[in-house]
Amino acid sequence: MNFAYYPGCSAKGSSSDYESSTQAVCRALDITLEEIPGWNCCGSTPAHAVDTELSAALCVRNLDIAARQGADLLLTPCPSCLSNLRAAARRMEKPAFRQRVNELLDAPAAETFPEVTSVMQGIARQIDRETLAARVQTSLKGLRLAAYYGCLMSRPSELMRFEDPENPLLMEGLLSACGAEMVDFPLKTACCGASFGIPERAMTARNSGRILELARRLGVDAVVTACPLCQMNLDLRQKQAGRACETSFHLPVLYFTQMLGLALGLKRNELGLNKLAVSANGLLEKMDNLRRADAVEGGRS
């Protein structure tokens, strides 16, 4: 199955591991991602914080490219891109707004745009639980994981339409199909502090610290994310978060695609695990030991 694909800027920079693992997992599941040509930044939070029409114009240029490619579904790995693209498409339904945005573009945008959804929802739409379970090469059995969605996958709820907005379970569904034990994680949709890491570190350190603290108390082997900015705040900024909580953490924070990739038996270098600031080596060793124990067990019986 082929899907039009909008990687978003992080995929080409700070979250190249999300990108490579997304590509690898989709390939393994027979999903082809076709990057739309000449895409640009959606403007992210800064654009909509400054001006709604500027934000929409940046998004609509991409939606327009996808529409002209004849796509009927556009996938993006990044929840922030997804939220912005959807909000822009929604606002363009109002003729006065559409006209104001069209004035900013080279040419008026297409009348209708393809539906936009996340890579996670795209995978879940294509592959049911049994099919995914049947593709597992290396079970995640014995690993205790916390699924962390962040704000934007599910909010604003009428725009994102993502399950129970305060308790989504899609990631748990995918990873438990691979054998993992998913803990009930009450902060799964709490905010990590978003892009305030640069201008106001305390905001990000404190919010991310709270999430990491709970994950540690629940005794998880890793936190699993779907958002490049959440992943950066919880992983690269983990030391800052530890200092804010007067402690220090050592919790691997992986993208859900990296976790799925491990289960599907994909090559570890394809999954970009070496890019994690907090090493996943302990987690990988635990996995190897668990599977070795299985093999011994299996050999005995």
Partner 1 sequence: MNDAIDISHVRDAAFTAEVEARSGQKVASCYQCGNCTAGCPAGFAYDMQVSQIMRGVQLGLKDSVLKSRSIWMCLSCSTCSQRCPNNIDVAAVMETLRHMARKEGHITVPKVEKFWLSFLNTVRAFGRSYEIGTMVLYMMRSLRVYTDVDLAPTAFAKGKLGLLPHLTPGGAEPVERIFRRYRERAKREGGRP
Contacts with partner 1 by CB under 8 A lie at 9, 12-14, 16, 37-41, 43-54, 57-58, 61, 103-106, 151-152, 155-157, 165-166, 190-191, 193-203, 206-207, 232, 236-237, 239-240, 274-277
Q: What is the nearest approach in angstroms of partner 1 to the Cβ of residue 44?
A: 7
CA-nearest of 90, 57, 62, 88 to 75 is: 62
Q: What is the nearest approach in angstroms of partner 1 to the Cβ of residue 122?
A: 22
CA distance 86 to 105: 18
192: which residues sit within 8 A by CB, 6+ positions away? 150, 204, 207, 208, 211, 229, 230, 233, 234
Nearest-5° angle of CA 128, CA 132, CA 137? 175
CB-nearer residue toward partner 1: 186 or 265: 186
DSSP string computed for 42-82? --HHHHHHH-HHHHHHHHHHHHHHHHHTT-SEEEES-HHHH
CA-nearest of 89, 139, 152, 149 to 116 is: 89
Q: What is the nearest approach in angstroms of partner 1 to the Cβ of residue 14?
A: 5
Q: What is the nearest approach in angstroms of partner 1 to the Cβ of residue 142?
A: 27
- Residue whose pair of structure tokens reads 């695990």 in the numeric block: 273
Q: Sign of dihedral through CA atoms 156, 51, 116, 131?
A: negative
CB-nearer residue toward partner 1: 176 or 195: 195
CB-nearer residue toward partner 1: 46 or 108: 46
Q: What is the nearest approach in angstroms of partner 1 to the Cβ of residue 16?
A: 7
CB-nearer residue toward partner 1: 123 or 283: 283
CB-nearer residue toward partner 1: 136 or 277: 277
